[in-house]
Amino acid sequence: MIYDISHQTTITYTWDVALSQHLLHLAPRPCPHQTTYHHSLIIEPAPTLSKQDWDYFGNPTTYLTVEEPHSKLSIVSTSQVEINAMPRPDPASTVPWENVAGYLADQADPVSLDASQFVFESPSTVSAEAEAYARPSFPAGRPILEGALDLMSRIFNEFKYKGGVTDISTPVDRVIAGKQGVCQDFAHLQIACLRSLGLPARYVSGYLRTHPPEGQERKIGADASHAWLAVWVPDHGWVDLDPTNDMMPGDEHITVAWGRDYGDVSPVNGMVLGGGEHKVAVAVDVAPVNEPAPV
């Protein structure tokens, strides 16, 4: 599948901002299953400095500084991306979950060393309750991917998707207690559960193609950013899981960035001098196309 993606962020302030600096994670990252044909940014007011770089996790980033006084900042990101669904391992053939920690300890290759860093708690995945919630999905000897899929389905069935009841700072334990939240909450919850058992899990941000109700036209700009996770499976690598939709992502999930949690991959982050209170409006559009952009 090939998609045209538009992501517009508009930040309005009570009064003028004298100076703002931002770190953007808006360019889709290179992946074995994903090719970016083009990516561009339109920023108003125009930044004094704009620099493309890569962060610690290999995600493409843009750093910008706006020195012109402004009461509104507009950032429009456009991309065209081709997605090819990856082969999925047979869950029953994956190693018992208890063996993963030993497998990591015994390996010295770069892939295993990279996975090892995603075993530890991060700011948004700290939880005292996650292990107790995870345990029913991981009885002794169960293959790791079977357990992870069971945990994903339990989150989907036992938690209600509801916006406005949490924000990005809501702790995992409060999500467990309230049994509701949004995609970021469910990703953080499953990551916390997996890490509590010593299993590597990372946070993935991106987009999900949405389908309008039957008989209705697709609304431009009505899509949204999405979040899911990936669990590391020995001999297979990273396997994506989407607890919000109880599915293993295929060719309708577009990856932008991954890290320990949302804090590593926030689409627009930064600081401002002045401005007072601010409001953020986001409009996302994910549209399938037939042909890639010409080179």
Q: What is the mean pLDDT of the chain?
A: 93
pLDDT beyond 70 at 222: no
Average pLDDT (32-47) is: 96
pLDDT digits (tens, 9 = 90+) for 51-72: 999 999 999 999 999 999 999 9
For the chain, give the percent of residues with pLDDT over 90: 85
Q: How many whole angstroms separate alpha carbon 246 and alpha carbon 78?
A: 28
Q: How many whole angstroms separate alpha carbon 185 and alpha carbon 189?
A: 6
Average pLDDT (105-113) is: 78
What residues form DSSP beta bridges with 171? none
Contact 5, 44 (CB under 8 A): no
Looking from the CA of 294 toward its CB, the CA atoms found within 13 Å total 0
pLDDT of residue 223: 79
Domains of the chain and any CATH numbers: 2-83+266-289 (2.60.40.2250), 91-263 (3.10.620.30)
pLDDT of residue 294: 46
pTM: 0.93
Q: How many whole angstroms separate alpha carbon 19 and alpha carbon 251?
A: 40
Average pLDDT (251-263) is: 96
pLDDT of residue 175: 97
pLDDT beyond 70 at 188: yes
